[in-house]
A and B are shown apart, each in its own frame.
Chain A
Amino acid sequence: AQTVTQSQPEMSVQEAETVTLSCTYDTSESDYYLFWYKQPPSRQMILVIRQEAYKQQNATENRFSVNFQKAAKSFSLKISDSQLGDAAMYFCAYKGMNYGGSQGNLIFGKGTKLSVKP
């Protein structure tokens, strides 16, 4: 079975600085998706960034980028120029490919609570 591990229960960053959140996973599959989701106090899950395992290039979305190391099964999230609105729980998630067309469920890590100091 696949597992996702986030080893940092809490992280703190100064506003405008850069922070990296760690995530490792375990799988025997060769193709899969990886995601970072943000959950603010409202508890709405918001997709931050996604990475397809078959793509070697690291995904980027504005201030958010990932360092995807497939061999090491590592998928860290870097937040640049941190803003107060970035404060939230961040969940790393894994999803296997579904070639049959149905959408498989996400497997989540335990989350990292990010605080942003003004």
Chain B
Amino acid sequence: GAVVSQHPSRVICKSGTSVKIECRSLDFQATTMFWYRQFPKQSLMLMATSNEGSKATYEQGVEKDKFLINHASLTLSTLTVTSAHPEDSSFYICSAGSGSGFNTEAFFGQGTRLTVV
């Protein structure tokens, strides 16, 4: 299957700093990528939809100024957590779709564990 690479896998940062997480589709082009957040022992919650060449679409309750998403190419989307605080500590996962319409499947990155101290 297609490969989605997410980097870094783990990051620890100080409160008030910014952290960038990269999501790359290695062997296919993804016009749309998705960013999810997963709290411990909970499900994945969609944060935003990243659209190549246009603004991201954020889910209700997600601060777009705190979670900056850039999708500058068909193979790369980035999520920047700005002015991170301990409550932003979580597991972040990206996914990208391959195919369209009736032939579509989501592939997930390995996830990024963010710890803000």
Tell whether A52 pairs with B102 under 8 Å between CB atoms, given A45-B108, A102-B32, A105-B49.
yes
Q: Which of A33, A106, A109 has the most B CB atoms < 10 Å from its CB?
A: A106
> Any chain A CB within 8 A of the CB of B81?
no
In B67-117, the 8 Å CB interface with A consists of 91, 93, 95-102, 104-106, 108, 110-111, 113
CA distance A50 to B58 in the complex (A): 27
B31 & A102 in contact (Cβ 8 Å cutoff): yes
A47 contacts the other chain (CB 8 A):
yes
Interface string of A17-54 (1 = CB under 8 A from B): 00000000000000001010000001111010010100
In the assembled complex, the CB of B100 is this many whole angstroms from the nearest CB of chain A, namely: 4
Q: Which residue of B lies closest to A47 (CB)?
A: B105
A106-B102 contact, Cβ under 8 Å, with A44-B108, A45-B108: no
Chain B residues within 8 Å of A, Cβ to Cβ: 1, 30-32, 34, 38, 42-46, 49, 51, 91, 93, 95-102, 104-106, 108, 110-111, 113
Number of A-B contacts (CB under 8 A): 65
B83 → chain A closest CB, angstroms:
26
Q: Which secondary structure dominates where chain A touches chain B?
A: loop
User: B96 to chain A: which residues have CB within 8 Å?
Assistant: 103
| Chain B nearest CB, measured from A114 CB (Å) | 14
Q: Are B100 and A102 in contact (CB under 8 A)?
A: yes
Q: Is the CB of A98 within 8 A of B101?
A: yes
Contact B106 A95 (CB under 8 A): yes
Q: Residue B104 contacts which of A42, A45, A98, A111 (CB distance < 8 angstroms)?
A: A98
Give Cα A35 to B110, complex, Å.
19
**Closest A residue by C-beta to B102:** A52
A101 in contact (CB, < 8 A)? yes
